[in-house]
Structure formats: C-alpha cells, structure tokens
Amino acid sequence: MSLSLLFKPKFIPISLRFLPAISITFFSTLCPRKPHFSYPSIDPPFPKKLPFKVTVHGRSWDDPYHWMSNINDPDFVNFLSQENSYAEAFMADTRVLQRKLFSEMGSRIPAKISTPPERWGPLFVVFSITLFDFLVFEDALLVNLYLVIVLIIWLYYQHIPEGKEYPILCRRLDTEESTGLGSLFSSIKRGFKREEILLDWNEIAEKYGYVHMGACRVSPDHNFLAYTLDKNGSEQFALQVKDLRYGHIISSAKADAVVSLAWLKTDLLCSIPSLMITRDHTELGSNEEKIVFTERDSRFCVDVTCTKDGKFVTINSNSRSSSEVYVIDAANSFDSLHRVHKRVHGVQYFLEHHRGFFYVLTNHPSAEFEKLHCGNFYLGICRVEDINSADWQNIILPKKGTSLQDLDVFDENLVLYYDKEGSSMICSVNLPIDVNSKRIVEIEDLNPWTFPVPSELCTMAPGSNHDYMASVYRVLLSSPVMPDFVVEYDLCRRSFNVVHQEEVSCATESAQANSSKFGIDGEPLSNIRIDKCKRQEGQSPGILEAYGAYGEVLDKSWSSDRLSLLDRGWVVAFADVRGGGGPDPSWHQYGSGVNKINSIYDLVSCGKYLVNEGYATKGRLAAIGTSAGSLLVGAAINFHPDLFCAVILKVPFLDVCNTLMDDSLPLTILDYDEFGNPKIESQFERIMEYSPYDNINKGLCYPSMLVTAAFNDSRVGVWEAAKWVAKVREETCTSCSRAVILKTEMYGGHFSEGGRFGQSEEKAYEYVFLMKVMGLLDSSKH
C-alpha cells in the first residue's frame, strides 16, 4: 500500500513529492519478527479519519475513529465489508484445514441429542364416566356413574433431530389414575403419552434467518407457553404466547422489549426495562394490561419471578451491586405491593417462600451480627407477616472459608450451593428448619447431605427443577476433560442416579487413551500425572482463556470441539482472575471498579506461569477473551506485547473510557459499579491506566489477532472492534498488523446463536487461525 492511500492532504508536501510510492512490505524488513505464514496479496483496508477531540477532567486527546459509532454511516458499513473481504483473503489458504477440523468436530456430535425428560406436576383431572350394568331391577336398567380422578404428570424435554441445528421443546403426559380401574383407561393413557411439539427453534431460524430465545415459561395449568424472541441480535425481545390446547399463537398477546416473564395462574407478568406489567389470558383475544410497578432510577433493571410454590410474585429491581425486592401475595392479585427492604448501596438479597416463611439469601447480616460482616452471603428467615421488619433472623452464618452462593427450595428440602475452601459444593437439608431457637447455626449443624460429585474440577449447573413438590434435584455436571452428565439426587433417600451422559462419537485415539469412564464416586478421569504432562508438553502451543468480570465464573464446561486441539498436542488453560467468580464475593470486588487492573495483572501472571513452567512454548501461547474478557486480553497485550503470539477477541469491550462516558448506551450506567465511572476524576484516572483502546503502543510489534463482532450487538457496539483494529493498524508495527483481521457478522448480536454445527464451524475457523499464525498449518493437516 502506498503512502498516498494513507494520507489524503489537499496538497503534497515538497519533502514527499519526489519520493517513490512505498509499499507496506518495505516495513516488514524492519520488523524483528519473521512470520511463519503468508500474507494475502491484498492490503488491509484503512478507514477514513475525521477530527474529533475528547476532553475529560482537563485532559484532551484525538479520536479520529469516533465517527464509527454511527453505524448507519455508509462508510462504516463499507469498511466492515472491506474488513470481511480482507479476513477472507487472509484465511484463504486455510480452507482445507477448516473443513477437516469441522468434519472432525461434526463426527463427534451424536446424530440425535436429547435431554432426559423432567417431571412437572401434578395436575388433578376429573373424568365423569357413565357405565351401564345390564341388570334389570324392578323393570329398570341399573346405571352406575363413576368419577375418575386422574393424576397427571407432565414430562418436558428437548431434543435436536438428526441433521438439524437447533432444539425442539417437547412434552408428553405420564399418568396415574387413583381408581384402580386399570385396563379401562389404558387407551386414554396411551393417548396422553403421545409427544407434543411445543416450540421448534429450527422453524424460527428458517423464518427469520436468526434465532435467539430469551425467557420461556409454561403456565401453571400447562395450557399456555410464553416465550420471548430476538429476531436480529439486537436483544429487543418480543413476547409470544402460544395456546397449547389449540396450537396457535395468540395474536393480541404481544409486547416488545421484554426482559423477563412469570406466570401466576392465568396472569402473565412481563418486565420491560423500567416497568412491570400484567396481562390476563383467561380469555383468548384479550389485550387488557396494567402497569403494576415502575422503576424510575436508570441504574436499576426490573425483573419479575414467582416463588417456587407459586404463592408470591417477586419484583426485583437490581443494579450490579444492590437489590430491592417487592412481593405480591398471589391470592390477593396485584392490590398489595410490599417492599421487602429499603434499597441500600452494596446490599443484595434474594428470597424464596416456604410454608409461611421467607428464606432470604443476603450479603448483609442482621444488626446483632453486623460486626461479623465480611461480604459473604448468609441465610436469613422471617415470617411472611414480618417481612417489612428491619432485621431478619439469621439461620446460617457461614464460618470462615465457607461462602453461600445460591439456594433452591422444595416442599420438604432446601438445596444450598456454597464454596468451601475453594471447592464448589451442593447440599440439601430437611425442611422446615426450627426457627424458634435463636442461635446461629452452620451448615454442618443442620445434618446436611452433601451431594457426591466427581473429584475432577467441574462446573455444576442446576436443571430447571420446576416442580416444588419434587423430592429429586437435577444437576448438570461437566469439566474440560469430562463430557456433560446429568445426575438426579434423591433428597429423601439421599441417593443419586446418573440419568444421562453426553456421548462423544469418534473420539480421537489419544483422547480415548487418556480418559476412562468417569464415575461420580470420585475416581479420576485421567491417570496422566502433572510431571509427565510437563515433559510431554514442553514444546506445546497453548491457549489461555479468561473472562474476569461481573463475578461470573469462567465457563470451563466440556467441549468436544476442543479435542481437535488436544489431539494435536495443544495445551488449553483457564485463568480464573479476580473480578470473576471465586471462593467468595471478595474475589469479584478485588477485580472490579477501582481494582479492575488486578484482573489484568492476574492474566499476565497466568500467561507467564504457563511459559515459565513449561506448559506452553514461548512464542506459541495464545489468549482468548470474549466481551468483557477481551478487555483483559487487550490490556494485557498493551502491557506485554510479546507475552502472547496471537489473540482472539470476540465481541470485544475495548473502548472502555469512551463507552462509559456515553450514558445513552444501554449498559453504561449499570456498568459503573463494575468498571468505574469516568465522570468521577479519580475513577477516570484508574480507567485510563488500562483502557485497551487508549493505551496502544506506537511502533511496537503486536500479536496476530482475530477480532470478531456483530453488527446488531446491543451490549458491546460493533464500532469498538472496528476502532480497535483501525488504531492497531495505524499505530503498531505495520508488518505485524497485517495479521490482524476483523470478521463481522452483519446479521447477529452479542451472543453467537449458531446451532450445534454452526458453533463447530466457528470454532474450526478460530482454531485454524491460531494454527496459521503459529506456523502450524502443515503439521495440523494430519
């Protein structure tokens, strides 16, 4: 590319007038890095630059790519198109390997995928049946009338049909009749057990070219299905209500920008950004609605739920760090709205109901134990009539090293998620709990049953567990080295049963050799010792994944696609940095707000550790960050440009300061607690220390980069990825920046909503990019 394409002055300075056109390849001779791959024959695009000065707290700087935040600018759309073309050209020599990896990944996916049916009920249905006994008594025909009470249990499940991308939500009935008439009703039962298709994601994707489902709720009488649908990736979810008795969508039951849903008998509650409304669907075609609650503080979002037993509606108005809950007695409709506790900054609480008591999970203990407050959550309880009292009675105040994280309630059992000295655990205790003794107890004092889980590191995600009267609890267990399996824990018998385990078809030989059938009895999955790993992997390429925001635990669940890397000798590592989920809330606090830079330091330390300890080869370590996780990776390569040889930044949050200065964006105000408020000078200074877009090093060699974005992304603007790529190309080593590509999905949103094959295709593209820039294309073809 010639300089005349980079600069477009009204006149050419004398000093440049007689210089020959200089190609970008001239600068490659000055670059100390010798690329292991070929560049495309075309040059990367360079967008226009428009003057724009930013002034904050007395500091000023230029941002010539600010214009990109106007995504309707034709020049911006054209720039994204040019970048997509450049990315295609850059990856042209990898198409064969992409297809090979995609074929590998597809071969591991079972032809049919299904979830084990989950029971939800009971419903009592009364049949009135007349039977004629052919007996004559005083010249009259004897007629017997039978009332048959049938206990109906619904079985809900999902499955992906062979060859399809997306799941189908189905149900069938499982019945037991109380009359013992047996064979008389066998035909009725057979009819009940036929499969009903409630919702087919494939049909929606075919209709709109995109599918992103939000909330999906079945009414308590099992007659209606309410769900929300995003049709283009903007996350403006539209409400749809389907009458399951007749199989059609209720045309009048529609709303836009719906955040959450909850059913209460025949009332459907919908929350939109600042309102909670209710609709009555007892009569088809009714469009009657009324506003129940309004939140006037833009820092808080409204969410609506029902307690597990259906006796109360809870309206939750939450920010990133504070919560306020209102309750409505379901029996009194919406006439009585009671606030549980006045909003206090930093205080969070969530509640459930059980037999006249509210169980409250909160991070703020009652007054008499406030001196013990260390930021952990504890469990409190109060009678329903005392919910407005200033203090709740403490039940469980975790001891040092233990942190409560979540709860679920059933008629006879309470399920608790907690962390104990760095290990995630689940237990159940019998209900009701004796609340008359005023003493504080620990979990061990309640005779808990701790659920057996595998000894390997794993994630534990609850199933839907809708049925309040159930005595079993379903959990999905997974780890990077263990295919997902579903376990049902019998809370009364204190036993467990593995009801489903994901099949991995055509697993690679090395994966099969290094893995044994995993049991929940604590037997390890792999017999490979750490020291043996080090010796074998000292020359291995590696990937380090991180997120580190919002207190969210990094996803470390099983992915069969990852076998395509592991079988080729790659090392995959996960960095649980401060700012993400950890053993207690302090792990998040020390990596958020004014402490956000700690997350970046942690990621850098993890990367150096992998190289120094011989897990990955220096010069062949890559990093992957998604959304807020890209902030970590982008900042880390600014701090240490030579730590990673390649990075993948997916829907990246990189232009931190500019985004947080714009409070018209959907998440800006909510994110002040997480990243800081640049309108406050002291916090602005901390943000500017790490903001990736504002700290790019001029003239230095940067890693190869794959940056992905989505045009309709409402969480992280598509311009953030585009501005980052443009500025990296402008300011860093000209040769190295040719290995920076931007791939934008022009019809999609923040979340990759591809189906099972679409996700594998995306992974194959990412993995092959890393193989190419590390010079591993030839060795990866086998």
Query: 153 in a domain, yes or no?
Result: yes
In this prediction, residue 299 has a pLDDT band, given cuts at 50, 70 and 90, of confident
From CA 599, how far away is CA 692, in angstroms rounded? 13
For residue 458, give both structure tokens: 């794993």
Residue 341's pLDDT is 84
Tokens of 124: 């009592």
pLDDT of residue 333: 65
Task: State the Cα–Cα distance between residues 100 and 782, nearest whole angstrom.
Answer: 9
605 in helix, strand or coil? Answer: helix
266 in Cβ contact with 279 (< 8 Å):
no
The mean pLDDT of 726-753, rounded to a whole number, is 93
> pTM for the full model?
0.87
Q: How far apart are the C-alpha atoms of 11 and 319, rounded to whole Å?
A: 54
Say how many CA atoms lie within 13 Å of 151 toward its Cβ: 9
- Cα separation, 719 vs 651, in Å, equals 10
Whether the upstream peptide bond of residue 161 has omega within 30° of 0, thus cis, is no
Q: To the nearest whole number, what is the mean pLDDT of the chain? A: 83
Helix axes 756-773, 95-108, angle to 10 degrees: 140
Contact by Cβ (8 Å): 520, 487: yes
Does one domain contain both 581 and 619?
A: yes
Shared domain for 89 and 152, answered yes or no, is: no
Task: Please report the pLDDT score of residue 14 as a whole number.
Answer: 26
d(CA 499, CA 481): 19
pLDDT tens readout for residues 105-125: 999 988 888 889 988 876 655
Q: Look up the CATH number of the domain holding residue 549.
A: 3.40.50.1820
Whether the per-residue pLDDT at 699 is higher than 90: the answer is: yes
Six-digit token string for 222: 């099992």
Question: H or E element: which one contains 261?
Answer: strand 260-264
Q: Kindly state the helix (H) or strand (E) to which residue 593 belongs, with its residue range.
A: none
Measured distance CA(685)–CA(670) in Å, rounded: 20
- Which one has a higher pLDDT value, 358 or 507? 358
Do the domain assignments include residue 500?
Answer: no
Please identify which residue in the block is written with the tokens 């409630």.
Answer: 198
Range of the domain at 383: 348-457
Q: Are residues 247 and 301 in the same domain?
A: yes
Same domain, 648 and 769: yes
Which pLDDT value is given to residue 469?
Answer: 92
392 neighbors 382 (Cβ within 8 angstroms): yes
* CATH number for the domain that contains residue 338: 2.130.10.120
Dist CA 573 CA 429 (whole Å): 36
- In this predicted structure, the answer to whether residue 179 has a pLDDT above a threshold of 60 is no
Q: What is the DSSP string of 28-94?
A: HTT-S---SSPPPSSPPP-------EEEETTEEEE-TTGGGG-TT-HHHHHHHHHHHHHHHHHTGGG
Asked if the structure places residue 594 within a domain, the reply is yes
pLDDT at residue 370 greater than cutoff 80:
no
Q: Note whether 113 and 756 are within 8 A (CB).
A: yes
| Tens digits of residue pLDDT in 533-548 | 443 475 799 999 999 9
Give the range among 176-185, 222-231, 248-257, 316-325 with minimum mean pLDDT: 176-185
Distance separating alpha carbons of residues 655 and 694, to the nearest angstrom? 7
In whole angstroms, what is the distance from residue 425 CA to residue 410 CA? 19
Rounded Cα distance, 328 and 349, in Å: 17
Which of 150-164, 228-242, 610-624, 674-688 has the least mean pLDDT? 150-164
The DSSP symbol for 696 reads P
Same-domain check for residues 215 and 130 = no
Other Cβ atoms less than 10 A from the Cβ of 187: the count is 9
Q: Which residues pair with 501 in a beta bridge?
A: 485
DSSP 17: H
**Is pLDDT of 512 > 70?**
no
Q: Are residues 597 and 730 in the same domain?
A: yes
Q: SS3 for 270-313, per residue?
A: EEECCEEEEEECCCCCCCCEEEEEECCCCCCEEEEEECCCCCEE
Beta carbons of 686 and 614 less than 8 angstroms apart: no
Instruction: Assess if residue 752 is contained within a domain.
Output: yes
Q: For 9-22, what is the mean pLDDT?
A: 27
Say whether both 122 and 170 belong to one domain: yes
Rounded to an integer, the average pLDDT of 409-421 is: 93
User: Taking 60 as the threshold, does the pLDDT of residue 228 lie above it?
Assistant: yes
Backbone angles phi, psi at 633, to 5 degrees: -70, -45
Confidence at residue 129, expressed as pLDDT on a 0 to 100 scale: 54
Tokens found for residue 46: 């360079």
pLDDT of 594 above 70: yes
CA distances from 428 to 305, 402, 449, 455 (A): 23, 16, 5, 19
Question: Is 38 contained in some domain?
Answer: no
Does 522 lie in the same domain as 405?
no
Statement to judge: residues 661 and 521 lie in one domain: yes
pLDDT digits (tens, 9 = 90+) for 646-656: 999 999 999 99
Backbone dihedral region for residue 311 (phi beyond 0: left; psi -120 to 50: alpha; all else: beta): alpha
Residues 6+ apart with CB under 8 A from 713: 233, 651, 748, 749, 750
The answer to whether residues 614 and 715 belong to one domain is yes
User: Bigger pLDDT: 476 or 508?
Assistant: 476
Does residue 100 contact residue 743 with C-beta atoms inside 8 Å?
A: no
Residue 20 pLDDT: 28
pLDDT at site 403? 87
Instruction: Please indicate, yes or no, if residue 489 is contained in any of the structural domains.
Output: no
Residue 124 one-letter amino acid? F
In this predicted model, what pLDDT tens digit does every residue of 546-579 receive, in sequence order? 999 999 999 999 999 999 999 999 999 999 999 9
Same domain for 152 and 274: no
Q: Is 217 left (phi over 0), alpha (psi -120 to 50) or beta?
A: beta
Query: Helices 74-90 and 718-731: crossing angle, nearest 10°?
Result: 70
Within-domain flag for 283: yes
8 Å CB contact between 646 and 563: no
Q: Is residue 562, in this structure, part of any structural domain at all?
A: yes
Please identify, among 346, 366, 394, the residue that sits at the C-terminal boundary of a domain: 346
Q: Which pLDDT score is estimated for 437? A: 61
Give pLDDT, residue 128.
53
DSSP letter at 141 equals E
pLDDT of residue 525: 36
Note whether 326 and 338 are within 8 A (CB). Answer: yes
Please tell me the total count of domains within the chain.
4
- Rounded to 5°, angle at Cα 275 from 359 and 671: 75
Strand pairing report for 413-420 and 423-430: antiparallel
Contact 476, 452 (CB under 8 A): no
Q: Are residues 143 and 104 in the same domain?
A: no
